[in-house]
Amino acid sequence: MSSPHDQIRLRFQLQLLRSDHAEALLAFERDNRAYFAASVPDRGDGYFADFDARHRALLAEQDTGACLFHVLVGGAGEILGRVNLVDVANGSAELGYRIAEQAAGRGLATSAVREICALAGAEYGLTTLTAVTTLDNAGSRAVLARTGFTAAGETEVDGRPGLRFVRNL
């Protein structure tokens, strides 16, 4: 009998969000909508109805340098997750990520966060990353701890008690 931790780790490529990711990204968001809604607020029907416009807006925002959106692309071209750096300014950014239900529990989030931390320092010139998660999201808190983030105080995340984390790069 094997546990999720015994499973082979998924291979992925961390890629900066591009226009040609739109179809796979929409499939990722649709396929995982209920899964994500169990731990974070649902994006709402409008997000899906206006996805193409939203995707173009994200790319335009990324072009300003204020945000750096990334996708985790699996071997078949499917999106396995998202890892974003938002509010990029003065050497810091806030980290956010979400992993597909089918890929959860296989170390993908930990690997992706480690990779984005290295990229943030080496390529983007950032010196500090912050992240927030709810108190009841033990998985996310564990990922942040495994990747060098330390708790930096209490906060509120969409009306729920949470923790703020920080990592110096």
Residue 5 pLDDT greater than 70, yes or no:
no
Q: How far apart are the first and last CA of the chain?
A: 39
Place of tokens 């959860």: 104
Q: Looking at residue 107, which CATH number applies to its domain? A: 3.40.630.30
pLDDT of residue 2: 35
Based on the structure, what is the number of domains in the chain?
A: 1
pLDDT of residue 48: 93
Q: What is the pTM of this model?
A: 0.89
Q: Which residues contact 135 (CB under 8 A, 6 or more apart)?
A: 160, 161, 162, 163
Q: How far apart are CA 135 and CA 145, in angstroms?
A: 13
Burial class (CB in 10 A: 0-12, 13-18, 19+), 19: exposed
pLDDT of residue 6: 36
Residue 141 pLDDT greater than 80, yes or no:
yes
Q: Which domain holds residue 108?
A: 4-168
pLDDT digits over 98-126, tens only? 999 999 988 999 999 999 999 999 999 99
User: What is the pLDDT averaged over residues 30-44?
Assistant: 87
pLDDT of residue 40: 78
Strands (E) across the chain are located at 13-16, 68-73, 79-89, 92-99, 128-134, 150-157, 160-168
